[in-house]
Amino acid sequence: MEITLKAKIFDLEIGRYEATLNETDAKKLGVRPKDRIKLFSRGKSIVAVVNTTKTVIKAGEIGISADILKTMGVKESDDIIVAPTEKPKSVEYIRKKMQGVTLSEAEFESIVKDVVTGRLSEVEITAFVSAIYINGLNIDEAAYLSKKMAETGEILEIRKKPVFDKHSLGGVPGNKITLLVVPIVAAAGLAIPKTSSRAITSACGTADIMEVLAPVTFNASEIVEIVDRTNGIIAWGGGVNLAPADDIFIRVEYPLAIDPHYLALCSVMAKKYAVGADFVVIDLPMGSETKIPTMEDARKYARDFLELGERLDITVECAVTYGDKPIGRAVGPALEAKEGLKALEGEGPSSLIEKSTDIAGILLEAGGIATKGNGKQAAMEILKSGKALKKMKEIIEAQGGDPKVTSDYISVGRYKETIYSPMGGYVTHISNKAIVQVARAAGSPKSKGAGIHLYITKGTKVAKGEPLFDIYAESEWELEEASKLAKQLLPVRIEGMILKRFPEYTFIGER
Amino acid sequence: MEITLKAKIFDLEIGRYEATLNETDAKKLGVRPKDRIKLFSRGKSIVAVVNTTKTVIKAGEIGISADILKTMGVKESDDIIVAPTEKPKSVEYIRKKMQGVTLSEAEFESIVKDVVTGRLSEVEITAFVSAIYINGLNIDEAAYLSKKMAETGEILEIRKKPVFDKHSLGGVPGNKITLLVVPIVAAAGLAIPKTSSRAITSACGTADIMEVLAPVTFNASEIVEIVDRTNGIIAWGGGVNLAPADDIFIRVEYPLAIDPHYLALCSVMAKKYAVGADFVVIDLPMGSETKIPTMEDARKYARDFLELGERLDITVECAVTYGDKPIGRAVGPALEAKEGLKALEGEGPSSLIEKSTDIAGILLEAGGIATKGNGKQAAMEILKSGKALKKMKEIIEAQGGDPKVTSDYISVGRYKETIYSPMGGYVTHISNKAIVQVARAAGSPKSKGAGIHLYITKGTKVAKGEPLFDIYAESEWELEEASKLAKQLLPVRIEGMILKRFPEYTFIGER
């Protein structure tokens, strides 16, 4: 059975090959929603997932996405021959994973290829992600999946070996250490092709910050070229097609608000495999509001990362870091770029400098630049000597930014409100989540100048009426929204020295 | 944050409240695909799932389904105020079920309500179905889910009590026993409001068959009225809104080709609960090509149905039946209607008559019409006496069909091809699946006259060149397709008496 239909552009940019048929034509072909049809035109053919409609697409027409039009080289109103066809084999493997069966390398390859080429429907992808969330993966499966996620995207061929990299698990606002780690490591002569993400639910991603200083969108050969020239780069991962299945999995994880442990591991390691990393340091921020609430969780992550690295021929070292408050004082793209640059210029908050040199030190030891136990000191020397700043400017220039930039030169949002302490006492808690919510309400990361600057850190003694933090925004209404939210959420908790005094005792700053 | 957008009809009839925004507007609102937005217009508001597009919907417009237009009473180009809102709580309960947590009655209620009212996205529904497939349900959870599936749809209030019902699990073509069971039971004075399905992947459903004799689409009050008048009905379940969540779950089970055991149980029992059944007999066809390959599987189904029935105050009796070949000789709507009516007229294949009176007998015993052990005989007497035929004609008339119909009067497809035995021997196997595929290729159930008539049954001795079966179709090309398929699949296997004769031994008829 086959019929000929007229092409109509009908595109929700879903990144999948989906074709929409009028119900009459679907019945004629004997296909139901989510069945597969084969489309033939101009000597080419592709397989698409079926949608049906009574109204949007008329009988005799077929609604196809711009992706399909492009792949097949057809135009609107072209004749397309349509015939039913089988579901891809990968659907059977997804079902097996749901049934608790361990999958082979070939089966993961089939699934990931079909995910990336748009051959699977959202139902099928959700079932796969759900099965991994519920049934987990063993270490072989995690290695196969990571490898296939990498191999179905671009692979960087950095000429300088070995290749170093770092990754921070999320949950800590202000974690701008990449801005220090990359230039320190690159200044020491090691290759570090760092790709970073933009914020999805956080206040801002490293790519959002770096973009204040230079363009961050580069393809694979541009990244290789810049790293060959300067040893380092801070690029946006979305600009290069590294492990593209990851974004597709995230699209179904997001509505369910799940972050399957094994997919998180595979996502990180697939990207490290794709950049050709030989040695990776993983920053595991532990805190009540991060992905790693306890040392036991940290141990599990560390063990899994190390094992997975071994299977992928990547040496992994994990560092459990303090994650119960923001790193540094600044949150938001321009504010963080300013703070990061200032730290490279020689003046920065100790939490940022200590953590950055700790992480960079691990890489310097691994690269033979420092002996065991002396990496941090070596990193600190590179930072203090100004070599890291010089290297950062080289990298900024190589990425197309202005190498003459200084921290003073970076402008932040022109609307500002200061939040003051309602009482005297000590800062006992800074809520990562509340800080993120307020920064986002102020417009971060969309408005580069929006964000938060903290005057205090955990343990600081404050007097009544002393400033706790500034909120910056680029519009008056966003500043108002953010201030209102800050007064509701009270991200900074102040308590007197007497922590228990019944019955008058109240938690100030607690919701 | 809220914005005002112009309504555009944009309907894939997905039965969910989904709204499509241009990416610019989505960014303005700070929402991502699968987030929720609240739509306000004409004093009403609803919550919809977000889709985004760069092209189909322009900035300033909002694509909304006909469902939303109807619910809100708005028209194309009306102004709609749009604001972001929270995900429904049910998403959290779905996540709990994925994590292996046992859900409460209130949590199932929240999920099922949101499924039925279109508040959940396909990703979220798939995750729920996957979680049940992987983690299962305990008997409390199955009872809660069944009840909530029933309560979110229509509930029949049959006046005559108690209410009897039957259900056959699938996998056996030609299983037209409802056409005999309902009139036998109704003729005995018991109420049996039978709702049946149309074929999805089978050759034809009972609703497809009954439709040859009378209309089958009735709403709840029409069903109650017909049963009050005649004691019985054979209606299409899709015409009345019984346990509507079931169809929505099936839409995600279908592409994955999964049939989660516990959802199958809940689907059956929710519908029995919704028709107010007090006693249900469940036909469990056991066979290599049914859902129940072994007696162990049958026992598990029976145990679960009985337990679930107990929680729902429905007395259940299960009958494990022979399911390794079609029931009767006919497969396809008109052919089965003809065979069923002929059996009521006094002449039919023994497999059909034996099974129908077995099942009807269980109901007669439960209803106190026959004493324990004598139900089958009582059913046989009602059938032989012509009372069942008379009752069937009453039911046909009450449903709006012609009560003067006879089996001879039913016409079948005018194109016919006979398949002959390639050798002498015995019929050792009739493949249910191959019979279904050939009948569907011939046009069943869409073409009422299409299908198969078998001349033989398992164990029949045939000579070379003797007819095995006829294929009927309503078009020449469908007949050709079906014949071609029959010659490939060879649904009837013939073997000589000598089953092993090395080395010349071959399986004749085996693929």
Domain spans of chain A? 3-85, 90-136, 164-239+263-398, 415-495
What pLDDT score does A507 carry? 40
Question: The complex's ipTM?
Answer: 0.85
Among chain B residues, CA nearest to A8: B56
Quick one: average pLDDT of A16-20? 82
Q: Which residues of A touch B256 (CB under 8 A)?
A: 91, 94-95, 98, 123-124, 127
Looking at domain A90-136, what is its CATH homologous superfamily? Transferase, Pyrimidine Nucleoside Phosphorylase; Chain C (1.20.970.10)
The Cα B217–Cα B205 span in angstroms is 14
Terminal C-alpha separation, chain B: 65
Among chain A residues, CA nearest to B120: A255
B87 touches chain A (CB under 8 A): yes
What does the block give as tokens for A473? 């925004």
Positive/negative CA dihedral, B86, B87, B90, B94: negative
Among chain A residues, CA nearest to B50: A255
Question: How confident is residue A75, by pLDDT bands cut at 50, 70 and 90?
Answer: confident
Contact (Cβ atoms closer than 8 angstroms) between residue B145 and residue B102: no
The Cα A178–Cα A171 span in angstroms is 15
8 Å CB contact of A252 and B123: yes
Mutation for testing the B interface, residue in A2, A49, A56 having most B CBs under 10 Å:
A56
Please name the member of B13, B92, B124 whose beta carbon is closest to the beta carbon of A255.
Answer: B124
Q: Which residues of B touch A95 (CB under 8 A)?
A: 256-258
The Cα A156–Cα A438 span in angstroms is 38
Q: Of the listed A259, A278, A297, A324, which one is catalytic? A: A259
8 Å CB contact of B123 and A126: yes
What pLDDT score does B12 carry? 62
The model carries a pTM of: 0.88
Q: Which residues of B touch A87 (CB under 8 A)?
A: 255, 257
What pLDDT score does B75 carry? 79
* CB contact set of A31 (below 8 Å; sequence gap of 6+): A21, A37, A50, A84
The listed CATH number (3.40.50.2300, 3.40.1030.10, 3.40.50.720, 3.40.640.10) that belongs to domain B164-237+271-398: 3.40.1030.10
B51 touches chain A (CB under 8 A): yes
A32 touches chain B (CB under 8 A): yes
Which positions 184-213 of B are in contact with A (Cβ < 8 Å)?
200
8 Å CB contact of B66 and A55: yes
A259 is catalytic: yes
What does the block give as tokens for A488? 């509701």
8 Å CB contact of A55 and B27: no
Q: Which residues of A touch B100 (CB under 8 A)?
A: 134
Quick one: average pLDDT of A346-355? 93
B32 touches chain A (CB under 8 A): yes
Q: Give the residue among A102, A112, A168, A93 at the shortest CA–CA distance from A139.
A: A102
For the ranges A142-151, A250-259, A413-422, B327-336, the lowest mean pLDDT is seen at: A250-259
Give the other-Cβ count within 10 Å of A430's Cβ. 22
What pLDDT score does B27 carry? 85
Please name the member of B56, B98, B135 whose beta carbon is closest to the beta carbon of A258.
Answer: B98
Share of chain A above pLDDT 90, in %: 72
Q: Which residues of B touch A30 (CB under 8 A)?
A: 440
Phi-psi sector, A72: left (phi>0), alpha (psi -120 to 50), beta? alpha
8 Å CB contact of B91 and A257: yes
8 Å CB contact of B87 and A257: yes
What pLDDT score does A157 carry? 95
In the predicted model, is pLDDT for residue A459 greater than 90? no
8 Å CB contact of A53 and B13: yes
Please name the member of A124, A254, A257 whose beta carbon is closest to the beta carbon of B256.
Answer: A124
What pLDDT score does B344 carry? 98
In the predicted model, is pLDDT for residue A505 greater than 50? no
Instruction: Give me the residue label for tokens 């380092």.
Output: A232
Decide if B3-85 and B164-237+271-398 have a common fold. no
Percent helix, strand, coil in chain B, to 5, is 40, 20, 35
A27 touches chain B (CB under 8 A): yes
A101 touches chain B (CB under 8 A): no
Contact (Cβ atoms closer than 8 angstroms) between residue A437 and residue A489: yes
Instruction: Share the mean pLDDT of chain A.
Output: 91
Give the other-Cβ count within 10 Å of A300's Cβ. 13
* CB contact set of A314 (below 8 Å; sequence gap of 6+): A269, A272, A273, A277, A278, A279, A280
B195 three-class SS: strand
Stated as kind and residue range, the H or E segment containing A468 is strand A467-473
| CATH 3.30.1860.10 applies to domain A415-495 | no
8 Å CB contact of A256 and B95: yes
A95 touches chain B (CB under 8 A): yes
Q: Of the listed B140, B259, B297, B324, which one is catalytic? A: B259
| CATH 3.10.180.10 applies to domain B3-85 | no
Q: Which residues of B touch A134 (CB under 8 A)?
A: 98-100, 130-131, 134-135
What does the block give as tokens for B256? 């994955």
8 Å CB contact of A255 and B54: no
Please name the member of A12, A100, A254 whose beta carbon is closest to the beta carbon of B56.
Answer: A12
The pLDDT tens digits along chain B (511 residues) read 677 777 776 666 566 788 888 888 988 888 888 889 998 888 888 888 888 888 778 888 888 877 777 778 777 788 889 998 888 999 999 999 999 999 999 999 999 999 998 889 899 999 999 999 999 999 999 999 999 999 999 999 999 999 999 999 988 999 999 999 999 999 999 999 999 998 878 899 999 999 999 999 999 999 999 999 999 999 999 899 999 999 999 989 988 989 899 999 999 999 999 999 999 999 999 998 888 999 999 999 999 999 999 999 999 999 999 998 999 999 999 999 999 999 999 999 999 999 999 999 999 999 999 999 999 999 999 999 999 999 999 999 999 999 999 999 999 999 999 999 998 889 989 999 999 999 999 999 989 999 999 999 988 999 999 999 999 999 999 999 999 999 999 999 998 755 444 444 334 333 3
8 Å CB contact of A130 and B134: yes
Q: Which residues of A touch B30 (CB under 8 A)?
A: 440
Please name the member of B12, B32, B251 whose beta carbon is closest to the beta carbon of A254.
Answer: B32
8 Å CB contact of A255 and B123: yes
Among chain B residues, CA nearest to A128: B130
B128 touches chain A (CB under 8 A): no
Phi-psi sector, B388: left (phi>0), alpha (psi -120 to 50), beta? alpha
Residue A191 DSSP class: B
Contact (Cβ atoms closer than 8 angstroms) between residue B443 and residue B474: yes
8 Å CB contact of B126 and A127: yes
The listed CATH number (3.30.530.20, 3.10.450.50, 3.40.50.720, 3.40.1030.10) that belongs to domain A164-239+263-398: 3.40.1030.10
Partner residues linked to A322 by β-bridges: A286
What pLDDT score does A267 carry? 95
Q: Which residues of B touch A126 (CB under 8 A)?
A: 122-123, 126-127, 130
Give the other-Cβ count within 10 Å of A23's Cβ. 15
Stated as kind and residue range, the H or E segment containing A495 is strand A492-495
For the ranges A382-386, A449-453, A494-498, the lowest mean pLDDT is seen at: A494-498
The Cα A11–Cα B57 span in angstroms is 10
Mutation for testing the A interface, residue in B9, B23, B56 having most A CBs under 10 Å:
B56
Q: Which residues of B touch A256 (CB under 8 A)?
A: 91, 94-95, 98, 123-124, 127
Q: Which residues of A touch B124 (CB under 8 A)?
A: 255-256
What pLDDT score does B54 carry? 82
Quick one: average pLDDT of A353-375? 96
Please name the member of B9, B12, B130 whose beta carbon is closest to the beta carbon of A51.
Answer: B12
B95 touches chain A (CB under 8 A): yes
8 Å CB contact of A124 and B55: no
Give the DSSP letter string of A15-27: SS-EEEEEHHHHH
Mutation for testing the B interface, residue in A1, A8, A13, A135 having most B CBs under 10 Å:
A13
Distance of residue B348 Cα from the nearest chain A Cα, in angstroms: 32
Phi and psi at residue B20, to the nearest 5°:
-110, 125
What pLDDT score does A508 carry? 39
